[in-house]
Amino acid sequence: MESKGEQHTGPQSRGEQRIGLLNGFAAYGMWGLVPLFWPFLEPAGAGEILAHRMVWSLGFVLIALVVTRRWAWAVPLLRQPRKLGLITVAAAVITVNWGVYIWAVNSGHVVEASLGYFINPLVTIAMGVLLLKERLRPVQWAAVGTGFAAVLVLTVGYGQPPWVSLCLAFSFATYGLVKKKLNLGGLESLAAETAVQFLPALGYLLWLSARGDATFGGEGAGHAVLLAMTGVVTALPLVCFGAAAIRVPLSTLGLLQYLAPVLQFMLGVLYFHEAMPPERWAGFALVWAALSLLTWDALRTARRSRTALRNAAIAAASATAEAAEAAEAAAKTGAETGTGTGTETEQVGRGRRAAAGDRSAAGQ
């Protein structure tokens, strides 16, 4: 289906699409550059950073919801136990994803973390086949197979499976699957998930403080502000993504999603100077080949769908026009037939009256 940006080409629509693209670049750009932020939070450990991220994210999202007055979803949600269960699952899965990612960045595994988000689309497709019984096109099978080969090559290169990458990919794919069933907006969903996370996270921070191991307040005001900024770092990209999602085609968002792991990979190699031996390059090359296949197939399928929809619309318009012409011709023919019948009836009546007059004259 074509988006609004594809259907309309007026100045206002082009302006909206431009705003959407800028928001999309902003969202994925922030997600791609976030590895630069986490090291500034040291000496806080990954667990403390994660807990602060949960607590401050809820605060930031609540402020955003108050400003935008988006509360209508909350009360109906509380009356739906199934959705509340899905939110709990989503909160648990994203907790694992956030925690592993923070630990990976601050432990020198930025490249391996970027691999997780590179292979995430492939894992999502594989989960669709295994869990949802979806059927794949041949090119998609080729992409998944190439991705599996890449994991094998990287396993040889690392000397063990790339657990960080696999954990990030599978946790985020599971999160996406749950979010699809949940069907809530980005801010609303994050508010619900962080509400679930809030009490355990706050309890962990209080426990750390009681033990004297908390860094919040003990490393200066600047460190405390940076820990509080984890809420902004978490929620702001989601706000930009939401603004992009309603303004640009899904195919464009699908291409923009690769910006984040590309930036993460470049930071890992060029900024953090992580090692990239030949076998690791080979594994990444296979992953990029798989993603190229996947992107080409998605664009080709979208183009075919648009063409089919356009042809169907043209055919429907043509059929409607033909039906209207046929109806008009039938009405015209009926009118002409009705006029002819009336004339013939009048002529017959005149003939009968003339014959009666002749008989009357004969009788006289």
Nearest to 46 by CA among 267, 236, 208: 208
Nearest to 196 by CA among 287, 92, 77, 96: 92
Task: Using the predicted structure, report yes or no on whether residue 15 has a pLDDT greater than 60.
Answer: yes
Contact by Cβ (8 Å): 232, 61: no
The owner of tokens 């003990």 is 218
Task: Using the predicted structure, report yes or no on whether residue 6 has a pLDDT greater than 70.
Answer: no
Give the mean pLDDT of 182-205: 89
Task: Using the predicted structure, report yes or no on whether residue 360 has a pLDDT greater than 70.
Answer: no
**Structure-block tokens of residue 238:** 């989601």
pTM: 0.77
Nearby residues of 34 by Cβ (< 8 Å), 6 or more positions away: 233
Nearest to 284 by CA among 169, 157, 167: 157
Task: Using the predicted structure, report yes or no on whether residue 342 has a pLDDT greater than 70.
Answer: no
pLDDT band at 5 (very low <50, low <70, confident <90, very high): very low
Give the mean pLDDT of 79-85: 91
Question: Where are the chain's structural domains?
Answer: 7-302
